[in-house]
Amino acid sequence: MALQTAAALSPRSISSSTTIPCAAKHPIIYSSTSSSSCFLSQSQRKNVAVGLSGVTTSKRKRAWASTVKSSLDTVGPTVNVGQVTEVDKDTFWPIVKAAGDKTVVLDMYTQWCGPCKVIAPKYQELSKKYLDVVFLKLDCNQENKPLAKELGIRVVPTFKILKDNQVVKEVKGAKFDDLVAAIDVVRSS
């Protein structure tokens, strides 16, 4: 994995906390603390070009340190196939965008909802059956209220089915057969 602009890498050309694009589409975050400007040596540039390991420069005539981190070190929540993943207002849209053209099903529920508790095990079974679909669940509590409002939740449980970052189907209530039919329609489109 090589940086596209590794040769031009220096504290003079890179401000603190600059993102440098990587050929593999994983940005490498470069930050430095410097009391003076100093160029990286050839071997340090080579290490930075390789990319995914931390690089700390040694003390030179003037003290400064730099660190290189891959975005892979700071990746957010992951989704496991065959499981339902709990999301919140901060993790929902990044996961939906990462899903690309896959179908995403979101179960919007509350802790106190009886029908939500009844359909939860069936929803879990669906996640094991449809391995090409991303299954998420969102607790519509006070903390996640902005996302629930954005998605237009009025009753729980509500299932939102998304494709290409857009809500394409909705099933209100604990209607398992309607949910399965809606998933099948979206998957086949």
pLDDT in tens, 82-104: 899 999 999 999 999 999 899 99
Residue 75: pLDDT band with limits 50, 70, 90: low
Asked if residue 155 is part of any domain, the answer here is yes
Residue 59: pLDDT band with limits 50, 70, 90: very low
Total Cβ atoms within 10 A of residue 88: 13
In contact, 139 and 110? CB cutoff 8 Å: yes
Q: Which amino acid is at 87?
A: V
pLDDT at 189: 87
Active site residue 116: yes
121-169 pLDDT, tens digit per residue, is 999 999 999 999 999 999 999 999 999 999 999 999 999 999 999 999 9
The tokens describing 126, both together, are 């669906």
- Cα–Cα distance measured from residue 143 to residue 141, given in angstroms and rounded to the nearest whole number: 5
Asked if residue 180 is part of any domain, the answer here is yes
Phi/psi for 166 (5° steps) reads -125, 140
- Given a cut of 80, whether residue 21 has pLDDT beyond it is no
Asked if residue 142 is part of any domain, the answer here is yes
- Which residue in the list 22, 38, 116, 140 is annotated as catalytic? 116
Mean pLDDT, residues 35-52: 41
Residue 76: pLDDT band with limits 50, 70, 90: low
β-bridge partners, 160: 106, 170
Residue 12: pLDDT band with limits 50, 70, 90: very low
pLDDT at 148: 96
Structural domain span for residue 141: 85-188
In contact, 161 and 119? CB cutoff 8 Å: no
Asked if residue 14 is part of any domain, the answer here is no
Domain count, the chain: 1
Asked if residue 146 is part of any domain, the answer here is yes
Residue 79: pLDDT band with limits 50, 70, 90: confident
Asked if residue 116 is part of any domain, the answer here is yes
Asked if residue 77 is part of any domain, the answer here is no
The label of the residue with tokens 């029908």 reads: 115
- Cα–Cα distance measured from residue 143 to residue 67, given in angstroms and rounded to the nearest whole number: 35
Total Cβ atoms within 10 A of residue 137: 20
Task: Read off the pTM.
Answer: 0.61
pLDDT at 187: 94
pLDDT at 11: 41
Burial class (CB in 10 A: 0-12, 13-18, 19+), 158: buried
Q: What is the DSSP string of 53-101?
A: S---PPP-SS-EEEEEEEGGGG------TTSEEEE-TTTHHHHHHHHTT
Asked if residue 141 is part of any domain, the answer here is yes
Strands 103-109 and 158-163, how do they pair? Answer: antiparallel
- Specify the CATH number for the domain of residue 164: 3.40.30.10
pLDDT at 36: 37
